[in-house]
Structure 1
Amino acid sequence: MEQLNQFISDFASYAWGLPLLILLIGGGLYLLILSRFLPFRLFGHALSVLRGKYDNPDDPGEITHFQALTTALSSTIGMGNIAGVAVAISIGGPGAVFWMWVSAIIGMSTKFFTAALAIMYRGKDSQGNLQGGPMYVIVEGLGKHWKPLAVFFSFCGMVGALPVFNVNQLTQAINDILLQPNGVEVNTTSNLVIGGVLVFFTALVIIGGLNRISKTASKLVPAMVLLYFVMVLSILILNASEVPKYFSLIFTEAFTAHHYTGDTFLGGVVGGLILLGIRRGAFSNEAGIGTAPMAHGATKTSQPVREGLVAMLGPFIDTIIVCTLTALAILVTGVWKTTDANGVSLTALAFEQTFASTGKYMLLCCIIVFSVSSLFSYSYYGTKCLSFLIGAKNKNYYNIVYILSIIMGATTSLAMMINLIDGFFALMAFPTMISTLILAPKVVKQIKSYTRTLKTSSDK
């Protein structure tokens, strides 16, 4: 098991090397400049689209703009925001948050382009249903001779979509917050029971397909974000005197890395901190990875730019808002300096320190909703990947593997699970970003046409 742990760790480190950093950050910056900073210019318009102002029920697709965003957010707003941020701070200190912000700002542009392309180059599965996602963008946009790249993405996507990290952290949270403090012995049997309960509820929703997943997500995601927002805001208000100090520390520590304890990168600790922040940011908002375009590609719309604008709100909500709130809660309470706890356990300590015994139970409620909603969305991504590889009629075979992996996630170590998903997320980014960068000029033409239409309608 130690050898397997080391192998998966080395695999993740190799996958998240300099080439991927250049592709995600350099590629994202190129897209941001190419679009003339469109995510910021049309931010207000994006909110109008999200509210349904431009919805047309006759447009092709399965779900609304709002359902597409909440389906995508239900996979990104989850353990990456609670456990992932805690992992980043425990290794990198406050400075890691700054590089997560950088990842998110650049990621807004990347999300815009990948989602717009998912509408522009929708394809049909073996049953003739309209589908979107990087694998269809590659085949429909670049041509059949690029299909090996689409196959590679789909294979990596099936592994990357497995819910092992979410389940692992949910199991740890239930053990640390609920079972152990109440005298319940935690062992493999208790973990299997937790896994079994998750299997039941997950199967109940995912068997219903995308419509049931999106409807469930559109109800759960806004509620869980609001609840979590209120709780973390309470922590910050109660520790208001500490907030300015740690907010400024996020900026200063980003370039000094005094609290960084991880491996160096490009010969220095600052390089290691940058890579940590980018990696955790990508895990949190998934910009450039290719998962969200699979949800946005199913939207009822004939306007690629419109869906791109909705998609770009994802990294802003996920990382700039939710991750920052989590980070500040951990920092202002001081728990990151007084314990060796990692992942969700560190966040739980911040809540417990502020709200006493009730705090950890409040957090557990959020964790359960975050994790379970993520389980629903990732299953959809995995079935789409398998459908592309071996036909739509066989896609539900993935759900069998998916459900079995819930048991694996509940009974294995955090390090192994986080490195496994990190590694395959990295591999998914290569075909997603390569195809996006090649096809980006076609999106720019759509942007010019769309903005002209907007200007004409506003002049009237």
Structure 2
Amino acid sequence: GFLGATIAYAFNRGVNRGLFSNEAGQGSAPIAHAAAKAEHPVSEGMVAILEPFIDTIVICSITGLTLLSSGVWNEKHQNDFSFADLEIMEGGLSEDADGGRLFNHFNNQGWVNSESLVPFQGELAVKEGRIKSEATVLHARSIAEDVVVSDNEGLFSGVLLIQKGRLQETTGITFSGRSLIHSAPLTAIAFNKGLFGDYGQYIVAIGLLLFAFSTAISWSYYGGRSVTYLFGVKYVNYYRVLYVIGFFLAAIIDTTIVWTFAGIA
């Protein structure tokens, strides 16, 4: 039922993100700890225990409590839509009247029947940035409001080709409006509403910078050790080139795509 599906989804996402947070049971952290020079194995073990405690129990708990207590997690905010999170459906949908259908659609729990949402197919008419076709824009698991379509020259007027609810040509096109958001932008807004006011977003930015830098270094080392074991030390430089290229690509690709790829990997 609904409760079971909710618990299963929360468990799945929690384990997924928890694994990324502290690598518990993944077997990657021992690569670094095995190379450490310590007076006694227990001291290095304490360091290994301290890492997930600070990262997950402290940092993640503070972040989660801030998101929940601020209330921003279920509020719609003005943002530029990511095309990986963007869907266009036939007709006018309402979160009150179509809540059940939306839930099934977002969680892939409904088979195709008369109650399923119908993806928009064909040409989407837009005039001065406003969608004129009978369609509903979904973004980040919510119905988008006040949607504006722009191109490089300003408000867009014309038609956009939509196939199975997805925009086919995204070059130079921007969808913006009010919708739910996620990831770092949501966390920044939550911290802005807290004790530190407008400075909260800078705390998030600095935290992201430090975590990203440490992750880049550690996973480069893990990968290098793995390549050395599998193929030999002479292939490490090739791996490092691919790693740097992948790192830059991940910085510009939509975060939803990155998370999906990481979850599969």
Q: State the TM-score, normalizing by the size of structure 2.
A: 0.55
Equivalent position of 1:348 in the other structure: 188
- Report if aligned partners of 2:70, 2:193 keep a CA contact under 8 Å in 1: yes
The alignment covers a number of residue pairs equal to: 161
2:263 maps to 422
Residue 268 of structure 1: SS of its match in structure 2? helix
- Counterpart in 2 of 1:314? 51
2:192 and 2:200 in contact (8 A); partners too: yes
Once residues 286 and 302 of structure 1 are traced to their aligned partners in structure 2, the CA distance between those partners, rounded to angstroms, is 25
For residue 385 of structure 1, the aligned residue among 214, 226, 230 is: 226
In the TM superposition, residue 294 of structure 1 has moved relative to its aligned partner by: 0.8
Indicate if the aligned counterparts of 2:33 and 2:44 stay in contact, CA closer than 8 A.
yes
CA RMSD of aligned residues (A): 2.3
Alignment partner for residue 397 of structure 1, among 206, 231, 238?
238
Q: Extract unaligned runs of 5+ from structure 1.
A: 1-255, 259-266, 425-460
Structure with greater contact order relative to length (CA < 8 Å, sep ≥ 6): 1
Q: 1:338-377 counterparts in 2 under 5 A? A: 338-339=75-76, 340-354=180-194, 355-377=196-218
Query: C-alpha distance in 1, partners of 2:223/2:233?
Result: 12
Letter in 1 for 2:181: A
Give the whole-Å Cα distance in 2 for the aligned partners of 1:329 and 1:257.
26
1:392 partner letter:
V
CA change 1:342–1:257 in 2 (3 A) is: farther
What SS does structure 2 have at the residue aligned with 1:300? coil
Distance in 2, Cα, partners of 1:386 & 1:283: 21
Asked whether the equivalents of residues 379 and 399 of structure 1 are also in contact (C-alpha less than 8 Å), the reply is: yes
Q: Which residue of 1 aligns with 2:74?
A: 337
Cα distance between partner residues in 2 of 1:326 and 1:346 = 10
Q: Which amino acid aligns with 2:47?
A: V
| Cα offset, 1:295, TM superposition | 0.7
| 8 Å CA contact retained: 1:294, 1:381 | yes
Q: 2: CA distance between counterparts of 1:415 and 1:363?
A: 19
How much does 1:341 deviate?
0.8
The one of 230, 249, 253 aligned to 1:408: 249
Unaligned runs of 5+ in 2: 77-179
Shift of 1:257: 8.4
Partner residue of 1:33?
none
Deviations 1:335-384, CA, capped at 9 Å, x for gaps:
11213111111101112223443322332222222212221111111111
CA contact (8 A) 2:22 2:56 kept: yes
Alignment of 1:154-233 (within 5 A): none
Per the alignment, residue 107 of structure 2 pairs with none
Amino acid at match of 2:68: L
Distance 2:70 2:36 in 1: 41
Q: Is the 8 A contact 2:184 2:204 kept in 1?
A: no
Query: Cα gap change, 1:398/1:336 in structure 2, threshold over 3 Å: closer, same or farther?
Result: same
Displacement of 1:305: 4.5
Paired with 2:55 and 2:71, the residues of 1 have a C-alpha distance of 23
Once residues 286 and 299 of structure 1 are traced to their aligned partners in structure 2, the CA distance between those partners, rounded to angstroms, is 18
> What whole-Å deviation, never above 9, does each CA across 1:200-233 have from its counterpart, x for those lacking one?
xxxxxxxxxxxxxxxxxxxxxxxxxxxxxxxxxx
Deviation at 1:411, TM superposition (A): 2.4
Contact 1:283 1:422 in 2 (8 A): no
Give the superposition deviation at 1:405. 0.6
Classify the secondary structure of the residue corresponding to 2:193: helix
SS of alignment partner, residue 395 of structure 1: helix
| Separation in structure 2 between the aligned mates of residue 290 and residue 415 of structure 1, nearest angstrom | 25
Contact 1:257 / 1:273 at 8 angstroms: preserved in 2? no
Per-residue Cα deviation, 1:176-208 (whole angstroms, up to 9, x for no partner)? xxxxxxxxxxxxxxxxxxxxxxxxxxxxxxxxx
The answer to whether the aligner puts 1:275 opposite 2:12 as a matched pair is yes
Cα distance in 1 for partners of 2:206, 2:46 equals: 31
The one-letter code matched in structure 2 to 1:365 is: I
Q: Judge conservation of contact 1:281–1:319 (CA < 8 Å) in 2.
A: yes
SS in 2 for 1:416: helix
SS in 2 for 1:288: coil
Report if the CA contact (8 A) 1:352-1:359 is conserved.
Answer: yes
